[in-house]
Structure formats: C-alpha cells, structure tokens
Amino acid sequence: MEDGSLKVIFSEVLRGYSLVDSSFGKSRINHFTNFDSAALDIKNKAFYDKAVKEGLPSRDERIDYLLEEGIWTNEKNKEILNTKSYIIGLKSSKSKAFIQAQVDQINRDLEENQLKLCKLELEKEEMIGFTAEAYAARRINEFYMYNAFSTDKGESLFTAEEFEELEEKKMMELISLYNATTKKFNSNKLKLVSLAGFFTNIFYMCDNDAFVFYGKAIVQLTFYQIELFGYARYYKSLLEQTEGRPPGDMMDKPEKLVEWFDSTKSAKEVLAKVDKGEGTASSLVGASKQDLKRLGLDNPQETINLAKKAAAKGGKLTMEDMMKLHGV
C-alpha cells in the first residue's frame, strides 16, 4: 500500500474519528474507547435480560437441547476443540521453523485447518439458531451505530426517538457506511502503518511511551490507537533483537517479517548449541543456500559443522543428538 493511503489511516487514528459524506450529510464516525465499550456492555446485558424474560432460550440451553436430541454431538465438539489445539500447535511449530519449505508447508496446513474450523463452527451456529445472545447482539449493533455517528461538529446525529423510528433502509445505510469506512483499520493495515517510515520516524522518538506519543492517558485512547501502538512496540522490539537486516520487501509484509524473525531466531538457537571450539560447516540440516541467505546466515563461519560434530561422536549422529541440536 502506498504511503499516502497509510498516512490517511494514521491521521484518522490520531484524530479519533473519520469524516464521511452520506444522505445524512457530513458526519463523523467515532472511534471507540474503553469507556464506550463499558457502556455497550451494560446495554448488552439489558438487551439479553429482556430477551430471556420474553422467552428466548440462551445459547447454552440450545446447545443442551441439541445434544439431548442427538442433533449435535459431543464428538463434534471434540473435533472443534482438537482442531483449535492443532492450529495452536502449528503456529508454535511455525515460530521454530527456519527452512522456508517447512514454513510454507505449515502455512498450507494452517489454512486448511482454519477453513475446517470455520466450517464446523458455522454448522454449529446454524443449528443453535436464534437465542437471547443473538437478539442482544443484533440490538447492540443498532445501539453501536447510534453512538458511532455524530455530526461533523461532534454532536449527536440523531435523538434517541429519531433513531428508534429510523427506517430499516436507513439503518442498513448506516451499517454499510460504517463497515466500508472502518475496514481500513483492520489489523493488517495498522501493522503496515506501524512499519512505515513516516510513522517509525516519529514513534522511535517517544521511547515506547504512549502518553508522550498521543498526549493522552492510555484509558482515554481509542482501540485503534492502542492497537497501532502495540504493533509499533512489537515490530520495534523484533528489529532491535535482530542482528541482521530483514529483506527489504518484508517491511510491507508484516506476517512475513514475523516469519523471518522467528526463523532467524530458531536457526541461531541451533547454532548456539554447538560447542565454540568445534569448527564450522556449510549449512544447517536441510537448509538450502537460499534459506541461509534469507536468514543472514550464509557466512560459512556462522554455521554448524555437522561433519565434525559427527566425527566427535564416532562418525554418526544419533536421533537424540539431532534433537538436542534443534532444541527438541
């Protein structure tokens, strides 16, 4: 993404709202804070209690019913839990892999299992149907729109009565406008901002102090401001811990940058397990020249001499030796 687009995102994050034009005139879409979230939680509880009072079943009650009737099974629940656990394991393995082919394979497995999990959870949600929680969620979304929109001067766009009487078509316009405007603040875009040169030039001067950066107490910051600051600290920490420089094309690919850092860290941990006086070799186990270059380890003086390591063990490394070298 070009710097110009990222600068617009950054300016709106700093401002705490986005300006939009619609059939309601020039309006603000406010970025929410923890105080706003607390108000929504209170309102959500009121909507939920109302739904239960009017006879809607809770989510747990529906699940119990589905299990009793055999419409949904504990085996399906276990499959969901097992898939979630497997995904966690894959992410852990990915953070330790330093060979690109291994990282690519793990990414393929992750995509496959995340899709599987999505399908299982969607199937379950369709069977659960409309519950008190679902009613509360629908009503809270409407209340969210009421609080999200204000005039360009910061005043309420609607009175409570006007909002209650809003036509469905107008409500859908608000929701559509909100979604179209705020999608630019998704995690990937905020990560890109946190790595952009115009941002880091400012951020690196604040010494990781949110108050110095924003001029506000943390509790007064919007969620976007907090999220952006968190990414900035995270990526700054990664780059500070890295001896070499990441490939230039990774600075606009946050996930690839994390992969590169984890791979480099894992490879150097393997190297650190070799006794200092045992010499060097041309490669890590299974690593290609491209892998070594990507990790900044293509200097033959910085890699493991497996041949000498094997010679010291009588000409052959056992599986236990290999596992120790790789931190298993």
HEC letters along the chain: CCHHHHHHHHHHHHHCEEEEEECCEEEEEECCEHHHHHHHHHHHHHHHHHHHHCCCCCHHHHHHHHHHCCCCCHHHHHHHHHHHHHHHHHHHHHHHCCCHHHHHHHHHHHHHHHHHHHHHHHHHHHHHCCCHHHHHHHHHHHHHHHHHEEECCCCECCCHHHHHCCCHHHHHHHHHHHHHHHHHHCHHHHHHHHHCHHHHHHHCCCCCCHHHHHCCCHHHCEHHHHHHHHHHHHHHHHHHHCCCCCCHHHCCCHHHHHHHHHHHHHHHHHHHCCCCCCCCCCCCCCCCHHHHHHHCCCCHHHCCCHHHHHHHCCCCCCHHHHHHHCCC
Question: Rounded to 5 degrees, what angle do the CA atoms 81, 82, 84 make?
Answer: 65
The angle that helices 74-96 and 100-128 make with each other, rounded to 10 degrees, is: 160
What is the structure's pLDDT at 11?
96
Instruction: Provide the whole-model pTM.
Output: 0.73
Q: Rounded distance, CA 204 to CA 190, Å?
A: 17
> What pairs with residue 17 in β-bridges?
30
Under a CB-based contact definition with an 8 Å cutoff, are residues 270 and 289 in contact? no
Q: Rounded distance, CA 272 to CA 327, Å?
A: 10
Q: Rounded distance, CA 318 to CA 173, Å?
A: 66
Cα 5 versus chain centre, distance: 21
Under a CB-based contact definition with an 8 Å cutoff, are residues 229 and 210 in contact? yes
Q: Rounded distance, CA 9 to CA 32, Å?
A: 16
What pairing do the DSSP bridges indicate for beta strands 25-30 and 149-151? antiparallel
Greatest C-alpha distance within the chain: 86
How many Cα atoms occupy the beta-carbon half-sphere of 282 within 13 Å? 3
What is the structure's pLDDT at 223?
97
What is the structure's pLDDT at 203?
94
* Phi and psi, residue 26, nearest 5°: -70, 125
Residue found by looking up tokens 């729109």 in the block: 145
Which pair of tokens denotes residue 104?
């690519």
The angle that helices 223-241 and 187-195 make with each other, rounded to 10 degrees, is: 50
Taking 50 as the pLDDT cut, the residues of the chain under it are: 275-283, 300-308, 310, 315-323, 325-328
Under a CB-based contact definition with an 8 Å cutoff, are residues 72 and 66 in contact? yes
Q: Is 16 left (phi over 0), alpha (psi -120 to 50) or beta?
A: left
Under a CB-based contact definition with an 8 Å cutoff, are residues 94 and 265 in contact? no
> Tell me, what amino acid is at 292?
L
Residues in the chain: 328
